[in-house]
Amino acid sequence: MFTGIVSEVGSVVANAQRNDIQRIAIACRWKPDDLSIGGAIACNGIGLTVVGRDGAEGSETVFEVDAAPETLAATTASDWDVGRRLNLERPMRLGDELPGHMVTGHVDAVANVTEREDLGETTRFRFEAPESVSHMIAPQGSIALDGISLTVNAVESHRFDCLLIPQVLQSTTWNERKQGDAVNLEVDLVARYVARLTETA
């Protein structure tokens, strides 16, 4: 379980096909001991399992994750070329504060940036979500986009917008996002279950 509050930005240093999976190596500033083999890391909002790690004192740590075919088909991971910067978050621990909202790392869909509006200090992004998830997005509700916990400001049909503050823009990859980009979307956990209950009622 994650919070949607990114604590590190890493970079893809290798991406290779291994049978039916994609082995992705990511460099970051965390210490090797901070990453457990078999543990989960949210990479641009996708909960992936650490399968390898390497690093020396004073150098960057490189850890490896595997992306299965289903992950590659349902997220932006298939587009992570070498040099791509990723928002990273380690799992929350029991007793930790929850500064964002409960994020599972299970991406529901890919949304597209339809507009970026720089307003000075803040930036407004407008998105289009697939019909399969748009009914679970509500004004003033929470949403995770590329692993960042954000508040939905407005919703119109399949489109919605979020306003990003300077701290988020500067400490994540969001200052690099532009019109036409695809981002990983995870709807609020409560909204997901309410929608499922409504479908089966």
Partner residues linked to 154 by β-bridges: 161
Task: Tell me how far apart the alpha carbons of residues 15 and 72 are, in angstroms, rounded to a whole number.
Answer: 12
The answer to whether 136 and 187 are in contact (CB under 8 A) is yes
134 and 61 co-located in one domain: no
12 and 67 co-located in one domain: yes
State whether residue 132 is helix, strand or coil. helix
Task: Tell me how far apart the alpha carbons of residues 13 and 164 are, in angstroms, rounded to a whole number.
Answer: 28
Question: Is residue 81 in a domain?
Answer: yes
For residues 195 and 35, which has the higher predicted lDDT (pLDDT)? Answer: 35
Question: Is residue 57 in a domain?
Answer: yes
132 and 192 co-located in one domain: yes
Partner residues linked to 50 by β-bridges: 65
128 and 80 co-located in one domain: no
85 and 113 co-located in one domain: no
State whether residue 63 is helix, strand or coil. strand
Q: Is the pLDDT of residue 122 over 80?
A: yes
Question: Is residue 96 in a domain?
Answer: no
146 and 194 co-located in one domain: yes
User: What pTM was estimated for this model as a whole?
Assistant: 0.91
Q: What is the pLDDT of residue 118?
A: 96
187 and 113 co-located in one domain: yes
Q: Which of 6-15, 174-183, 184-193 has the lowest mean pLDDT?
A: 184-193
Backbone angles phi, psi at 74, to 5 degrees: -105, -5
Place of tokens 């500067």: 170
Report CA-CA distances (Å) from 23 to 51, 54, 56, 63: 9, 15, 21, 10
Domain of 42, in residue numbers: 8-89
Q: What is the pLDDT of residue 145?
A: 98
The total of other beta-carbon atoms located within 10 Å of residue 96's CB is 10
114 and 187 co-located in one domain: yes
CATH number of the domain enclosing 68: 2.40.30.20
Report the share of the chain in percent with pLDDT over 90: 78
Residue 174: pLDDT band (50, 70, 90) is very high
Number of domains, the chain: 2
Question: Is residue 154 in a domain?
Answer: yes
DSSP assigned state of 90: P
Residue 18: pLDDT band (50, 70, 90) is confident
80 and 116 co-located in one domain: no
Domain boundary among 28, 55, 89: 89
Backbone angles phi, psi at 56, to 5 degrees: -125, 160
83 and 124 co-located in one domain: no
**Terminal CA-to-CA distance of the chain, rounded, Å?**
28
Q: What is the pLDDT of residue 38?
A: 96
With the C-alpha atoms ordered 33, 11, 167, 180, is the resulting torsion angle positive or negative? negative
Domain boundary among 37, 59, 89: 89
Q: What is the pLDDT of residues 67-79, one digit of tens each?
A: 999 999 999 999 9
